[in-house]
Amino acid sequence: MVDNPNGPLLAVQSVSKSFGGVQALSDITFDVDPGMVMGLIGPNGAGKTTLFNVVTGAYPADTGDIIFEGIRVPGRKIHQVVGLGVARTFQNVELFESMTVLENVMVGRHIRTRSGFWGAMTRLPGVLREEKEIRDRSLDLLSFVGLQDEAHRQSGDLPFGWQRLLEIARALASDPKLLLLDEPAAGLNAVETGQLGELLERIRDLGVTLMLVEHDMSLTMKVSDRIVVLDQGRMLAQGTPREVQSDEAVMAAYLGGGHASN
């Protein structure tokens, strides 16, 4: 499956993106190796979420390239990128609130399943088998994140912390190789954040590569293998958590800069 088994899972190459006059990303280059946890930090407005949107194909980059498993991402539609194995969650939890917890995860299976309009209307055995498969896999994922007892609740009624877990389960349902988490700990209390850290470890054990934007420094430093630091669209530093923490440019612009955000 992998074109170059020893190469990176994701290669971000000289990516720039501007909105009107604002340079949201300028000349960003880094690799994400399979199996690692990549932390992405930087003050608000540093371009972290923009980078996520470019990697998932939601925004086209102005210049530069995104290579996932040897395949170019630019020019592909979002659902095709999901098909390649890139999934994400959102900063402000985007659940399907009129649907049940289980159904939310079941939609997550969409890209890995086939039956369409005719299948739905005829309900042939093959379609029913697929439906059962979707349901079983989704229930497994709910157990994985610890929401098995909430399967039939309306997703909008869940407490916020659980909504975050549900969003992660839904993203995992698409069998991603790379999972992008946009501030997964935002709005969680200390206990929940601890549990999240544990969950991230277990996701990594499944063989899923993680990339996370996070303001919670202790969590990011704890779970990340490598960290990329962005500031005003530029890449300030990258390296192991220890290297980044002792980097002078980072200290000056970010950690030392009055702790602008959390």
Partner 1 sequence: MRRLPPIGHIIFILAVLLTGFLIENTYYFQLLVFVGIHTLLALGLNMLMGYAGQISLGHAAFYGIGAYTTAILTATYGFSPWAALPCAVLLASAVAYVVGLPTLKLSGYYLGMGTLGFGMIGFIVFREWSSLTGGSSGFVGIPPLEIGPVSFYSGRSYFFLVWTVVLGIIILCRRLIDSRTGRALRSIHDSEKASRAIGVDTMALKLRVFVFSAAVAALAGFLYAHFVTFISPGTFDFLASVRMVTMVVIGGMASVWGALLGAFLLTLLPEWLHAFSEFEMVVYGLILMGVMIVLPRGLFRGLLDVFEGAREQTAKRSGGVNGR
Q: For binding to partner 1 (CB under 8 A), which residues are involved?
A: 56, 58, 77-79, 82-83, 87-88, 90, 94-99, 103, 106-111, 113, 115-117, 119-121, 123, 127, 130-131, 134, 170-171, 173-174
Nearer to partner 1 (CB atom), residue 160 or residue 262:
160
Residue recorded with tokens 């194995």: 85
Find all residues with CB under 8 Å of 145, minimum gap 6, and list them. 165, 166, 168, 169, 199
Nearest approach, Cβ of residue 82 and partner 1 (Å) = 3
Nearer to partner 1 (CB atom), residue 23 or residue 80:
80
Nearest approach, Cβ of residue 183 and partner 1 (Å) = 15
**Nearest residue to 82 (alpha-carbon basis) of 174, 206, 8, 181:** 174
Contact 216, 262 (CB under 8 A): yes
**Residue 27: which H helix or E strand, with range?**
strand 22-32
Nearer to partner 1 (CB atom), residue 107 or residue 255:
107
Nearest approach, Cβ of residue 167 and partner 1 (Å) = 8
* DSSP designation for 64: E
- Across the strands, what pairs with 39? 212, 227
Nearer to partner 1 (CB atom), residue 1 or residue 121:
121
Nearest approach, Cβ of residue 79 and partner 1 (Å) = 5
Which tokens hold the place of 173? 């349902």
